[in-house]
Structure 1
Amino acid sequence: MNPSEQSKVLVSACLLGQRVRYDGRDSGHPDLLRRWQAEGRVVPLCPEVAGGLPTPRPPAEIPGGQGGPVLDGEAQVLTVLGEDVSEAFLKGAHQALALVRRHGIRVAVLKSGSPSCGNLLTYDGSFSGTKVPGEGVTAALLRREGVKVFSELQLVQAQACLEA
C-alpha cells in the first residue's frame, strides 16, 4: 500500500518533538510515531496552540477533569491563575475535528493527561498533580465523532486499530 492510501492519524504535536506544551517543552517522539510520520500518515496538531494560546502558557485544568461538560457549556477550563481559557480549548478541539473530517481520520494519538488531549486520565482541577478518570476537551469531541482516541502509552493498540 502506498502512503497516500494508508489511513491518516491525528497526533498531538508535542509527541512529534514540537515545543508546544504549556511549559514550552515537547513530550518526546516515540519511534512508531516517527515511522508513521516518515510514511506520511501523521496529521499533527496542538489543539491549545491552534485555539490561540501562546507557548509557554500558564498550566490549565478542568475542575472535575471532564472535557465533555466543557463541550456542553457546563464546565470551564481554568488556568492556575483562575483565567477561563475554555474558548481557546473549544476552538482547538473544533480545529482537530475539522482535520479529522478533512482527512477521513479514525484514529488519534493524543498526549496523556492533558486537559485537551488526555483520553483516560486528566488532572482534577486542583493543580495538585491529582489525576482522575476523564478525558480532555479535544479527546471528548473526537470520541463523540467516532474517532478512536489513544495516548502515547497505547501505541500498540493504536497500531492495531489502524491495521483493522
Structure 2
Amino acid sequence: MLKVLVSGCLGGAPLRFNATGVPVSSAIWQRWTSEGRLVSLCPELAVGFPVPRPPAEIVGGSAADVIDGRAQVHESSGRDVTELFQAAAQRALDRALQAGVGLAVLVDGSPTCGSTYIHDGTFTGVTVAGRGVAAEALRRRGIPVFAHDDLDRAAATLAELERRRPGGS
C-alpha cells in the first residue's frame, strides 16, 4: 500500500507559522486515515522552526532556484533562512522515500509546501503561481504533489499508481 505524505498542519494541527492548522473535511481524507496511509510531516518544524514563527517567502526566484542556490528564502524581518528551507525540503524528501510514499498532499501557499501558488516575496499578501521548496524537491524525485483542496485528483492518481505497481497495492 502506497503512503501519502501530508503537511503536518493538515487535519487542523496548529503548526503553521501563525499557530493555526488547516482543517480537512473529506471522505477521501477519512478513508486514507483509516487505511493508515497518511505520513504527516511539517518540514519547517523538522528543522527546528518554532510555532509561531515569522512568515517567510521565496525572494529572487522560484523554489527550483532556491534548491539550486540561485534564490533565497527570507523571513519578514529580512533574516535569510534559505539553508533551513533547503534542509526542510531534504527532510521531506527523505521521509517520503523512507515511508514508501506514492504522492504528497501539501498545504498550498506555503514557501515550503505550496504546490500551485506561493507568496511573491514582497510580504504584501500577493500570491503567484509556483511551488514551495519541499514540493519542488518531491516533484524532482518523481513524487506527484497535490494541493490540499485537490484530493479528488490526488486519490485518482494514487489509485492509478497502485494499479501500475508490481503486485498491485
Q: Secondary structure at the match of 1:87?
A: helix
2:20 to 25, 28, 47: 25
SS of the residue corresponding to residue 57 of structure 1 reads coil
Tell me the distance in 2 between the aligned counterparts of 1:163 and 1:78: 38
Aligned-residue offset at 1:16 = 2.2
Please report the TM-score for the alignment, with normalisation by the length of structure 1: 0.92
RMSD: 1.2
Could you tell me the TM-score, scaled by structure 2's length?
Answer: 0.90
Following superposition, the deviation at residue 103 of structure 1 comes to: 1.9
Alignment-derived partner of residue 11 in structure 1: 6
**Contact 2:60/2:72 (CA < 8 Å) preserved in 1?**
no
* Alpha-carbon distance, 1:93 to partner: 1.0
Q: Aligned letter for 1:161? A: T
State the shift of 1:137 in Å.
Answer: 0.2
- Are the aligned partners of 2:15 and 2:21 in contact in 1 as well (CA < 8 Å)? yes
Q: SS of 2:72's equivalent?
A: coil
**More helix per residue:** 1
Any stretches of 5+ residues in structure 2 without a counterpart? 161-169
Instruction: Tell me if structure 2 keeps the 8 A contact 1:17–1:28.
Output: yes
Quick one: distance in 1 between partners of 2:84 and 2:156?
32
Residue 36 of structure 1 is matched in structure 2 by 32
Closer/same/farther in 2, CA of residues 65 and 37 from structure 1, 3 Å limit: farther
Following the alignment from structure 1 to structure 2, what is the Cα–Cα distance between the partners of residues 149 and 43?
14
1:46 to 16, 38, 42: 42
Point out 4+ residue stretches in structure 1 off by more than 6 angstroms.
none
Deviations 1:75-134 (CA, angstroms, capped at 9, x unpaired): 111011001111221111111111111122121000001000111111000011111111
SS at 1:132 equivalent: strand
Percent of residue pairs bearing the same amino acid type: 46
